[in-house]
Amino acid sequence: FLDGNRIHEIPEGMLSSTSVQNLYIFSNNIQALKKSMFGPVHNQGGIQNIQAQRNPIRNISVEFLRGLKEDGE
């Protein structure tokens, strides 16, 4: 859980070699979501759930969205 920590961004590749499946980053100051933040685990069965509500997100890259499943799929 990284919620409520005033995080502005997730450093590129920070989660690339982890076994994190659920990422809770809500209530921070994150303004963009990029695939590069999550490295190769993103969209490859690694991170399955990202909770990012209550962030001033202004930009979500197309690469970040590519391959994601909707809740319940």
**In the chain, pLDDT over 70 holds for what percent of residues?**
75
pLDDT band at 65 (very low <50, low <70, confident <90, very high): confident
Contacts of 61 (CB under 8 A, 6+ apart): 32, 33, 34, 35
pTM of the full predicted structure? 0.73
Comparing 63 with 26, the larger pLDDT belongs to 26
The three-point CA angle 70-45-25 to 5° equals: 65
- Give me the residue spans of the domains in the chain: 1-64
Of the candidates 62, 61, 23, the one whose C-alpha atom is nearest the C-alpha of residue 41 is 23
**Does residue 41 register a pLDDT over 70?**
no
Residues 6+ apart with CB under 8 A from 45: none
Mean of per-residue pLDDT scores for the chain: 80
Q: Quick one: pLDDT at residue 26?
A: 93
- Number of Cα atoms under 13 Å in the Cβ half of residue 9: 13
